[in-house]
Structure 1
Amino acid sequence: MLIRDGFPGQRLRVLPAPRVADALRSPVTERLLVTDAGQFPHAAEHGRDRPRGADEVVVILCTSGAGHVEVRGQEYEMAPGRVVVLPRGEPHRYRADPRDPWTIWWMHVTGADADDLATAIARPAGEFFPVIQAHDPYAARAALEHVLVSLERDDTTASLLAASGAAWGLLAQLAADRARGTTEVGDPILAAQDYLREHLDASTSVAELAKIAGLSISHFSARFRLASGMGAVEYHKRLRSARARELLITTDAAVADIARAVGYDDPFYFSRQFRAINGTSPTDFRLTSRNRSGPVV
């Protein structure tokens, strides 16, 4: 038999239905509202079976032990650092591992932003992947603890806003993790991206990057595009443009000098590349930035 709650040392908060209805009519919380949150330590025999799904998006982070999630006929193993994000209305079943019960932090969220973020995490490119390895499990745990602490304080507007902010940040980070498509420290694509950031003034070919990553050119190119949403050449171009914008705003250096600082020997070619990304020339960008009212920060 699966146990819903009642574990020694557990923490749990659930908003009453009238408060939920009121918050969903208020600015900000109408977009994303945490309705339930908790932490279940060493939750032996814990589990739920929802053949019609939940009324909210369900988010569960495993911090120790193990568990299992069943969705659409597929079983996913939960281990420390893994997060399951279940869109609302998605039938599912989950349970703690009987030999090594999980410790979990969890929340239920509702609202349009919650739905959009859940889709970005669990249904990237239309495919369904409800379980993701958090790039930074400690930050994910901290965010969920912030959510819970906020609701434990009270259910005032201030506390609900604090919980919503922490929940939005966590879901946005998980969506970014999913979009990057890579989770391991030392991943060759992350290494290639770091290399490009550190060598803005150098010309680097895709073949050289593939060699650095230890992959074939075709495999590297496919993985880089999946992780970045663009090819390596375009990625490098955008990094250079970002640095050029910074120099245009913060220095009086000539455009030709800035071009060389970000790897372009030909200032006219640099200007064309800059305009393609920013919609304006380097000179006009500098002028517009300096004519803004007030300082940059």
Structure 2
Amino acid sequence: MTSDLISIKILRSILYQDNARWNHPVNYYPYNSIYFIRGGDGHIRVGDTQWDLLPGYAYLIPANTMFSCWCDRFIDKLYVDVNVEILPGYDVFSPLDTPRQIELGLPEIEAILSANDSSSLKSMLYLKGSVTTAISLFLDEGHMVPDREMLQFQDLLLTIEKNLSAKLTVAEIARIHNYNPTVLSRRFKRVFSCSLKQYIERLLLDRIKQELLVTDKSIKEIAAQYQFCDPYYLSNYFKKYVTYSPKQYRKVSRPMGS
């Protein structure tokens, strides 16, 4: 595998400082979040397991992990929301369902926070490099290297990524790549443990969630971008999987120092 298969996209990075008002019982985001802790007495919990957020440490919360977070007195951290795709649309941390912790040291945390606070190209590259280094430290040796069959789907996954919309069908993907739709669906499920239709729907849903959480686009704009016939159809599609309407999801889930 070559490194050009890996795409690291920082969706946003925000320095956050607050007191005990930082208390969010339910968080569930479609992207990975990394906390770089400078100070405070914060905590995160997944199920019955709790992690104390120690100064000088970084914490990874994998995408689609339901967790709670709070502090006793105050929290001082940088949080970075990031996608790390090892194949188009296939996140390297997707098999994980629990946070991970690494020690970086306070001087490195300070340097990362300082880089985030600057608009220079040098600082932007330093921040991305530091996030990339942290990601590598969160991984186990040999973690999630795609096998040969997965790599054979690289062009097909790229087609999905480039054409992702409510109108994209298995039949259209099969036509583009000269497959029989039934044969393609069967082979895809054997390799990825989900049907191609499920994969498209999951990816589309995650992209819509990201639009709702990290942009200020209207529901109408998002519906047009992903080729839903109108905002009402998008809302019905979204509620089928999430329970909330897109507007409600944005209101209750948009991070405020999460």
Report the TM-score when normalising by structure 1: 0.36
Instruction: Considering Cα pairs closer than 8 Å and 6+ residues apart, tell me whether 1 or 2 has the greater RCO.
Output: 2
Report the TM-score when normalising by structure 2: 0.41
